[in-house]
Chain A
Amino acid sequence: MFSPKIRWTVVLFFIILLLGVGFQEWVFLISLIPLTVLIIFYFFTSPPEKLDLEIIRELDQNRFQEGEHVEISLRIRNKGKQSIDILEIVDELPIQVSLKSSSNHILTSLDAGEETEFRYVISCDYRGRWKLGPTHVRVRNFIDSAFSVTTFDSTEDRIIVIPNFEIIRDMPFRTKYPKISDGPFHSKLKGEGLDFSGVREFLHSDSLARINWPATAKYGRLFANEYELFRTADLLLVLDATEKTASILEDQIKAVLSLSEHFLKYKCRVGLMIIRDAVDRFNLSSSRQQLVKFTEKLIDVQATKVESLNILNRRINTNIDKYFPLNCLTIIISPLIQPAINKMLIDVAKRRRNSFFLVPSIVSSEWRYIKEKENPPNLLVHQDLLLRRETEITRVFQEGLVVFEWDVNTPFSVFMNKLKQIAVKRGRR
């Protein structure tokens, strides 16, 4: 197809011609000679009408971690007999990925039978299942007077971006109901174990290897080290993915996966309940496949509006009562932003024997995106939101429940480490 450029040139040609004829000016007519040569050039250098291109996408794998950089490669071959002067290629990308190096929109040139490789690097910014391609191709001649456009659907490819999680080193949480087998929970029962808990006076039944020599030297009596036992326990994670949690859902998912990974590593049984308009349930299991199952589900989880709170409440209660034992440690991960949902979650926590809230701070999460922080109206709104949040958290406290507040600007593993340090200090006091 010819571009508008050729039409404008022809229009210009006729304007000059008419002016030349009208004024009987030979200069005007002579100036048409280069224009005529140009139009003939436009006419004879048009690109091939039918493109004989072969485009193949080369992707080694289709599962990537969130934030991972991926090199996309397209192999392009001109199978036609005519060379392509300007080959413009646009490889369509979803908005959830961003370009890191090179570009998905290039300009190149291909001779007949020539093959080339087109590469660029993207970063997978958001978890989910996204589509790469199709590839749009526009062919033009060097003078840009004609073009043809084709779309190659065969290059479409799907990628799966898996949510990230952090490796937790220190576990601050305790359970009231540990099991007999070894695990990550610190038991109040004293005995042999891995973690140092304190020093006490030496008893005759103690082995000599446990004597704490510095303490003995200091006090003039024999002192022995005391260790804590590690125990496994059942763990239920309740994820609040209702409408208003949208801006913090990524952080919540990261927390869920980090906790699951840590406990599953120590062979604890871990279950998950995702509260949206519907309730998704994963029964307790200590298998490593459990983490894969969680990840597969959490790839697609989006915050959704709850149509009926009554139905949701009934669903939550039915699921939780039927499938999870009462004494399993229940961690409810919610920003406590919607009073009606909060009420429901408090009710869930009260029904359990052993539960607490992990509350990522949605206000601080959203505040980091505000540019004019010193602006009085913004500050006022921020203060108001903080106050509302405090009210909600106090309501949970009043019910006698424990709340761990996580500022999402701090990495989850660092937050857990700090919590552990606080727990240790309190224990010593």
Chain B
Amino acid sequence: MSKEKMKERKNQTSSKEKYKDKQDKIEYIVEGKTLKQVSVAITNFSEEYDRKIRNLQIIAIAMVIVISLISPLRLLESRSYFDFTAVGFVTASLVPSLIAIFGFMRGGRFCLYLSTTIYGLWILVLSNFYWEVILLMSVLIIYFEVTRMIQIIRPLLTNIKSISRGGAYYHAGVFLDRYFRFLLKFCGILVGFSISFGVLGWYIVEPLPSDILFSIFFIICLAMLILLSRRTLTKDIQKILIEEERDRMETELAKSYSRYS
């Protein structure tokens, strides 16, 4: 490319930038005084939201494809009726997962649970290697979380007209930006920790006799359950008790202030 052309291109880009800068802010001037300055969005917020939700859908689809494409590999090793049935089920569950992701029809939530169950069963029953189980389970969890998030956000913004900054699309855009950042962190932690624990567990725990191993595992799980139930159940019970107490106090207050008391 000649130098002149390069210069021309540079000029064009710089003029575009200038135009953007010019477009960025609008001043409301009345009788020579600037009343307010408003920054103008270059792209429509609804378009930006569409792009972000499409990205989320692409992530979910990628997860489904990873799980679905691995399942036919099973047929390379053994070709029993059970294997064919399992591969058939996994392939068929592409339909509910697509419904769950894109919301073509009603029952998206049910389709999500159905597809997750089928994929989960396939992973549990037909996997051979420990890293395979860990990776596929992580992928399944990410698929579930992302699709659930799509299902939470999308209904809020159907048949809604976009307005400028501060509208529903703008806020959804802000939220999705932060969610993508979180998703990156979440995927990293989930896959990273799972594989680390898996590898460590394989080499540390393998020499132990299976009875001891299972009992240790069981104790850890029980401890976790107690810990979790203390955090979840007690809060709920506390809330119910507080509400009951409030109702009782309100009734007493109403009685004491009633002219018939």
Q: Which of B73-81, B145-153, B245-253 contacts A (4 or more CB under 8 A)?
A: B145-153
A255 to chain B, nearest CB (A): 33
> In the complex where A13-B221, A17-B221, A33-B198 touch, is A108 in contact with B156 (Cβ < 8 A)?
no
- Asked if B190 contacts A37 (CB within 8 A), the reply is yes
- Asked if B186 contacts A41 (CB within 8 A), the reply is yes
Task: Tell me the chain B residues, 208-228 only, with Cβ under 8 Å from chain A.
Answer: 210, 214, 217-218, 221, 224-225, 228
- Asked if B175 contacts A39 (CB within 8 A), the reply is no
- Size of interface on A: residues with Cβ below 8 Å to B: 48
Q: Which of A114-122, A126-134, A233-241 contacts B (4 or more CB under 8 A)?
A: A114-122
**A119 / chain B contacts, CB cutoff of 8 Å:** 163, 165-167
Q: How far is the CA of A321 from the CA of B141 in the complex (A)?
A: 81
- Asked if B175 contacts A34 (CB within 8 A), the reply is no
Chain B interface, DSSP helix/strand/loop, else mixed: helix
Q: Which of B25-33, B102-110, B229-237 contacts A (4 or more CB under 8 A)?
A: B229-237
**Could you say which of A38, A43, A116 has the most chain B C-beta atoms within 10 Å of its C-beta?**
A38
Range of interface residues on B (Cβ < 8 Å): 35 or more
**B169 / chain A contacts, CB cutoff of 8 Å:** 102
- Asked if A107 contacts B194 (CB within 8 A), the reply is no
Q: How far is the CA of A235 from the CA of B124 in the complex (A)?
A: 87
- Asked if A118 contacts B133 (CB within 8 A), the reply is no
B178 within 8 A of A: yes
- Asked if B201 contacts A33 (CB within 8 A), the reply is yes
**B166 / chain A contacts, CB cutoff of 8 Å:** 73, 102, 116-119
Q: How far is the CA of A41 from the CA of B188 in the complex (A)?
A: 12
- Asked if B168 contacts A103 (CB within 8 A), the reply is yes
> In the complex where A33-B194, A38-B190, A102-B160 touch, is A27 in contact with B124 (Cβ < 8 A)?
yes
- Asked if B138 contacts A34 (CB within 8 A), the reply is yes
A213 within 8 A of B: no
- Asked if A142 contacts B186 (CB within 8 A), the reply is yes
> In the complex where A34-B137, A103-B156, A143-B145 touch, is A2 in contact with B235 (Cβ < 8 A)?
yes
Q: How far is the CA of A2 from the CA of B235 in the complex (A)?
A: 8
- Asked if B178 contacts A1 (CB within 8 A), the reply is no
A169 within 8 A of B: no
Q: How far is the CA of A143 from the CA of B145 in the complex (A)?
A: 7
Task: Tell me the chain B residues, 64-122 only, with Cβ under 8 Å from chain A.
Answer: none
**A21 / chain B contacts, CB cutoff of 8 Å:** 214, 217-218
- Asked if A1 contacts B161 (CB within 8 A), the reply is no
- Asked if A34 contacts B194 (CB within 8 A), the reply is yes
Q: Which of A27, A36, A85 contacts B182 (CB 8 A)?
A: A85
A217 to chain B, nearest CB (A): 56
Interface string of A8-39 (1 = CB under 8 A from B): 00100110110001001011111101111111
- Asked if B124 contacts A16 (CB within 8 A), the reply is yes
- Asked if B231 contacts A101 (CB within 8 A), the reply is no
A107 to chain B, nearest CB (A): 5
**B157 / chain A contacts, CB cutoff of 8 Å:** 103
Task: Tell me the chain B residues, 126-159 only, with Cβ under 8 Å from chain A.
Answer: 127, 130, 133-134, 137-138, 141, 145, 148-149, 152-153, 156-157
Nearest residue (CB) in B for A12 is: B120
- Asked if B137 contacts A31 (CB within 8 A), the reply is yes
- Asked if B178 contacts A106 (CB within 8 A), the reply is no
Q: How far is the CA of A120 from the CA of B172 in the complex (A)?
A: 14
Nearest residue (CB) in A for B175 is: A109
> In the complex where A37-B190, A106-B172 touch, is A1 in contact with B235 (Cβ < 8 A)?
yes
**B138 / chain A contacts, CB cutoff of 8 Å:** 34
**B137 / chain A contacts, CB cutoff of 8 Å:** 31, 33-35
Q: List 18 A-B contacts (CB under 8 A).
A: A10-B228, A13-B221, A21-B214, A29-B217, A30-B134, A33-B194, A34-B190, A39-B228, A41-B189, A99-B160, A101-B160, A103-B156, A103-B157, A103-B167, A105-B168, A106-B171, A108-B171, A120-B167
Binding site for A on B (CB under 8 A): 123-124, 127, 130, 133-134, 137-138, 141, 145, 148-149, 152-153, 156-157, 160-163, 165-169, 171-172, 174-175, 178-179, 182-183, 186, 189-190, 193-194, 197-198, 201, 210, 214, 217-218, 221, 224-225, 228, 231-232, 235-236, 239
Q: Kindly list 9 other residue pairs between chains A and B, CB separation below 8 angstroms, not including A16-B124, A34-B141, A116-B171.
A: A2-B232, A13-B221, A27-B124, A27-B130, A34-B134, A43-B228, A102-B161, A108-B175, A144-B149
**The 8 residue pairs across chains A and B that have the minimum distance between CB atoms:** A108-B171, A102-B167, A119-B166, A103-B168, A34-B137, A2-B232, A101-B161, A34-B194
